[in-house]
Amino acid sequence: MFSYGKINHSQSIRFFLIVLLTGCYAGCAYINPFIENIDMVSLSQEKQLSQQISTEVSKTKTIVNDPAKVDLVRRIGNRLVAALPRKDFDYQFYVVSDNTPNAFTIPGGIVYVHTGLLDFVDDESELAGVIGHEIGHAYDRHPTKTLTRAYGVTYLTNLLFKNDPNQFRKITLQLAAGGILTKYSRDEEREADDIGFYLLKKAGYPSDGLLRFFRKLDRAAGKQTIPAFLSDHPATQERIARLEALEKNPVPAG
Ligand code: ZN
């Protein structure tokens, strides 16, 4: 059950954001979380990888078909994707049965939201914050960068050439077990947090959705096992402080 957050339609804030976001996309690469990547598999190869891995995810995870859950996640996801400055992928959103308040992203812009996350959040903007964070990973191609770090470009391109289902299955099992996709770097997590923050703003959500999610997760951490989403660097409190600073002054420090 979700109580939906209020949407801020203030024209002045909108104008400010248009100026801010347009300015950053146009020329502020050094402070821009929407960065480009080099030295990795091509976009078309990433899309091939995506197809193979998503097929394996559907075999190794329980995909939830409850229309209330799926429609909510897709509506939020599509609203956030509409705010992206560039769409390299046909972004897709699925719900998987898992009690932990988490989400993960595979190459090619496919985001999987755990049922435990739907239960954990208090309102739509918190969920949108996490989905925006995951879209940020996809946008900056972090899943493919991580796979490239783990396996190397040559291995991945050979894998696509040979199209060996057993190897794709092996990779997917590691992805599903959180063995690879939780190995994002600190900078990649910060980039994804920044993109999550800006997508909330640009899509018209309360911009503190991701911040409130992290605060709640931080409070919950004392009572339960810390989910993988949080167990990585940087520490939750550092991420909270960073988002609080963005909330007060949404101009990234150069
Ligand atoms: Zn992340």
CA of 97 to the centre of ligand 1 (A): 19
CA of 11 to the centre of ligand 1 (A): 31
Structural domain contains residue 125: yes
Number of domains in the chain: 1
pTM flag (> 0.75): yes
CA of 69 to the centre of ligand 1 (A): 22
CA of 61 to the centre of ligand 1 (A): 20
CA of 68 to the centre of ligand 1 (A): 25
CA of 134 to the centre of ligand 1 (A): 6
Spatial distance between the Cα atoms of 196 and 177, rounded to a whole number of angstroms: 24
pLDDT category of residue 226 using cuts at 50, 70 and 90: low
What would the pLDDT profile of 135-170 be if each residue is shown by its tens digit?
999 999 998 888 888 888 888 888 887 877 777 777
Contact yes or no for 190/234 (Cβ under 8 A): yes
Distances (CA, A) of 181 to 70, 73, 76, 167: 23, 21, 22, 17
- Average pLDDT, stretch 192-213? 96
Structural domain contains residue 117: yes
CA of 85 to the centre of ligand 1 (A): 20
Structural domain contains residue 48: yes
Closest CA to 228 of 128, 109, 107, 130: 130
pLDDT at 232: 54
- Average pLDDT, stretch 89-116? 94
Spatial distance between the Cα atoms of 144 and 121, rounded to a whole number of angstroms: 28
- DSSP-derived pairing of the beta strands 92-96 and 110-114: parallel
Range of the domain at 86: 11-248
Closest CA to 100 of 159, 176, 32: 176
Is the per-residue pLDDT at 4 higher than 90?
Answer: no
Spatial distance between the Cα atoms of 230 and 9, rounded to a whole number of angstroms: 31
Structural domain contains residue 5: no
Is the per-residue pLDDT at 181 higher than 90?
Answer: no
Structural domain contains residue 254: no
CA of 192 to the centre of ligand 1 (A): 6
Structural domain contains residue 253: no
Mean pLDDT of the chain: 79
Structural domain contains residue 1: no
Structural domain contains residue 3: no
